[in-house]
C-alpha cells in the first residue's frame, strides 16, 4: 500500500514538474524572452479547474401525452402526462480527491491522517525536500507530525458528464371559461423528480462520495409531489340591486373580485453534519440517523435534552423544532464514511396561501375612466414556514424563517 500516492495508474515521478525548469533564458531558442526563471508555488497547483477529456454534451428527452374533453360549452377538462429525462448533466467533481483506502492505511500505521498527502497527485515531501516514499525520506516524518507536505497538486475540480435526472408528472386542469360573470381555473399536479444534483453551483452540485456518484441519487431539491392552484374572477352583480340610474347605480357598477389559492407540499432538504467525517474536505457529509424522524408544528415550542452533536452541557434546548434533533448524530459519524442519512430524505413545510384582489372600474366619460384596485397577498396571514436550519446555523432542526406575511397594496389609475 502506498500511503502517499504520487500519481494515477503507476505514475511515480513528480506529476507537476516545472515545465520551464530546463529552459535557458539566454539561449536564442527560448520561446519566452524573460531574464530569469521564476519558481512555482508550493504546492505547485493548490487549486485548478480542469477540462475533463471525456466531457460530453448534456441532453434531455421530453415526452408528453394528454387529452381534452369538453364537459359543457364553457368548461374543458385536460389531463396530461409529462416526462423528462436528463442525461450527461454537468456535475462538478474533485478528481484529485483524498483516497479513503490510503487515509485508512495512514491512520492504521501512523495513528493520524494527512488528507492532502492522500491525494494521488500530491507529491508529498519531508522537511528536507525528499519524497516521503523515496529511499532518502526521513523515517521520522510521519503524517501526524505535520512534516509531510504536498508539492504537486491538491484541489483539482472538473466538470463531468455524470449527472442525471428523471421527472414524471400528471397534470389535471379544469377550466371554466368566462361566462355568466365569472371564470374558474383549477390545476392539480402530481409529480416526482429524481436527480443526482439540483443545481450547477448549488451545494449539492458536487458528489458527496467521489467514488460513488449514484449515492446522491434522490428526489430533487425542488421536488413537489402535489400542488393545487385554484384561481377565479367574479364580476359582482351589485348594479342589479338598483335598477334606476344616477350616482348609486354608478357606484354599484364595475366591481370585480379575484382570488388565487395555492396549496403545495413541501420541498425536501438535507441536513449536513459539518463534521468532515469522510475527510474529503467538501463538507457534504450527512449525519447518521438513529430512528424514525418525528415532525412537529413549528408554531409550538419543543424542548430536547440535546441537539445532533449529542451535547448536553448547555442544558435543555428549547425552540421551534420541525423535527426531533436527537435522532440525528452529527459528531459520532464513523471516520471515512458519509453518514447514513440520505440526500433530501426529509420533506419540509408546505404552502397554504391565498391572494385576493378587489377592483372597481368607474366610467366618467366615453373616453375616461378611473380604476381602483386593492390587492392582498397571503390575505389570511397564514404563516408559511421555510425549511429548518442546518447545524452550521446553531439552531439545528429549528424553523427560524418564514415567507412573507400578509402584504396589501392600493392603486388608483386614471385611464384616458
Q: SS3 letters for the chain?
A: CCCCCCCCCCCCCCCCCCCCCCCCCCCCCCCCCCCCCCCCCCCCEEEEEEECCCCCCCEEEEEEEEEEEEEECCEEEEEEEEEEEEEEEEEEEECCCCCHHHHHHHHHHHCCCCCHHHCCCCCEECCCCCECCCCCCCCCCCHHHCCCEECCEEEEEEEEEEEEEEEEEEEEEEEEEEECCEEEEEEEEEEEEEECCCCCCCHHHCCCCCCCHHHHCEECCCCCCEEEEEEEEEECCHHHHCCCCCHHHHHHCCEEEEEEEEEECCCEECCCCCCCCCCCCCCCCCCEECCCCCECCCCCCEEECCCCCCCCCCCCEEECECECHHHEECCCCCCCCCCCCCCCCEECCCEEEEEEEEEEEEECCCCCEEEEEEEEECCCCCCCECCCCCHHHCCCCECCCECCCCEEEEEEEEEC
Its pTM surpasses 0.85: no
Predicted pLDDT of residue 87: 95
Q: Does residue 385 lie in a domain region? A: yes
Q: How many domains does the chain have?
A: 1
Residue 92 confidence class, pLDDT cut points 50, 70, 90: confident
In a domain, 178, yes or no: yes
Residue 25 in any domain: the answer is no
In a domain, 12, yes or no: no
**Portion of the chain with pLDDT greater than 70, in percent:** 82
User: Per mean pLDDT, which range of 96-110, 213-227, 378-392 is the poorest?
Assistant: 96-110
The pLDDT of residue 8 is: 44
Mean pLDDT within 54-73:
95
Summarize the confidence of residues 126-149 as an average pLDDT.
Answer: 66
Q: Has residue 28 been placed in a domain?
A: no
Q: Is residue 144 part of a domain?
A: no
**Percent of the chain having pLDDT more than 90?**
54
pLDDT digits (tens, 9 = 90+) for 345-363: 999 999 999 999 999 988 8
* Whether the predicted pLDDT of 57 surpasses 90: yes
Least confident window among 165-169, 291-295, 305-309, 328-332: 305-309
Q: pLDDT at position 58, please? A: 94
Average pLDDT of 325-335? 91
Q: Is the pLDDT of residue 6 over 70?
A: no
Asked if residue 263 belongs to a domain, the reply is yes
pLDDT given at position 26: 45
- Give the model's pLDDT for residue 11: 43
Mean pLDDT value across residues 369-394: 93
* 16 falls within a domain: no
Which range of residues forms the domain containing residue 253? Answer: 56-90+164-415
Q: Residue 107: pLDDT band by 50, 70, 90 thresholds?
A: confident
Q: What mean pLDDT is reported for the chain?
A: 84
Amino acid at each position: 500500500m502506498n500511503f502517499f500516492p504520487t500519481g494515477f495508474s503507476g505514475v511515480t515521478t513528480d506529476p507537476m514538474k516545472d515545465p520551464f525548469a530546463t529552459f535557458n533564458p539566454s539561449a536564442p531558442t527560448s520561446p519566452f524572452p524573460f531574464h530569469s526563471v521564476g519558481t512555482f508555488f508550493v504546492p505547485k497547483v493548490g487549486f485548478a479547474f480542469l477540462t475533463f477529456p471525456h466531457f460530453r454534451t448534456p441532453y434531455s428527452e421530453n415526452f408528453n401525452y394528454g387529452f381534452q374533453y369538453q364537459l359543457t360549452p364553457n368548461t374543458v377538462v385536460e389531463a396530461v402526462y409529462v416526462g423528462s429525462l436528463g442525461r450527461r448533466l454537468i456535475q462538478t467533481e474533485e478528481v484529485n480527491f483524498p483516497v479513503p483506502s490510503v487515509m485508512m492505511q495512514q491512520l492504521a500505521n501512523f495513528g493520524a491522517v494527512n488528507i492532502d498527502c492522500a491525494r494521488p497527485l500530491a507529491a508529498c515531501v519531508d522537511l528536507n525536500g525528499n519524497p516521503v516514499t523515496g529511499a532518502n525520506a526521513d523515517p521520522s516524518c510521519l503524517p501526524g507530525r505535520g512534516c509531510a507536505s504536498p508539492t504537486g497538486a491538491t484541489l483539482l475540480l472538473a466538470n463531468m458528464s455524470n449527472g442525471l435526472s428523471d421527472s414524471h408528472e400528471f397534470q389535471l386542469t379544469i377550466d371554466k371559461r368566462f361566462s355568466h360573470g365569472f371564470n374558474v381555473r383549477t390545476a392539480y399536479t402530481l409529480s416526482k423528480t429524481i436527480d443526482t444534483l439540483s443545481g450547477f453551483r448549488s451545494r449539492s452540485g458536487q458528489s458527496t462520495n467521489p467514488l460513488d456518484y449514484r449515492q446522491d441519487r434522490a428526489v430533487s431539491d425542488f421536488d413537489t409531489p402535489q400542488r393545487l392552484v385554484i384561481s377565479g374572477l367574479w364580476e359582482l352583480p351589485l348594479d342589479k340591486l338598483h335598477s334606476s340610474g344616477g350616482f348609486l347605480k354608478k357606484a354599484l357598477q364595475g366591481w370585480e373580485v379575484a382570488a388565487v389559492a395555492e396549496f403545495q407540499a413541501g420541498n425536501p432538504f438535507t441536513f449536513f453534519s459539518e463534521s468532515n467525517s469522510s475527510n474529503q474536505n467538501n463538507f457534504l457529509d450527512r449525519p447518521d440517523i438513529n430512528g424514525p424522524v418525528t415532525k412537529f408544528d413549528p408554531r409550538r415550542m419543543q424542548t430536547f435534552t440535546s441537539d445532533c452533536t449529542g451535547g448536553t452541557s448547555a442544558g435543555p434546548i428549547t425552540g421551534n423544532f420541525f423535527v426531533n434533533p436527537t435522532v440525528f448524530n452529527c459528531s459520532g459519524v464513523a471516520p471515512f464514511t458519509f453518514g447514513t442519512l440520505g440526500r433530501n430524505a426529509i420533506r419540509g413545510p408546505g404552502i397554504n396561501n391565498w391572494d385576493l384582489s378587489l377592483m372597481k372600474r368607474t366610467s366618467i366619460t366615453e373616453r375616461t375612466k378611473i380604476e381602483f384596485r386593492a390587492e392582498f397577498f397571503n390575505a389570511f396571514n397564514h404563516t408559511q414556514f421555510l425549511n429548518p436550519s442546518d447545524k452550521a446555523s446553531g439552531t439545528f432542526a429549528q424553523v427560524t424563517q418564514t415567507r412573507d406575511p400578509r402584504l396589501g397594496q392600493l392603486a388608483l389609475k386614471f385611464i384616458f
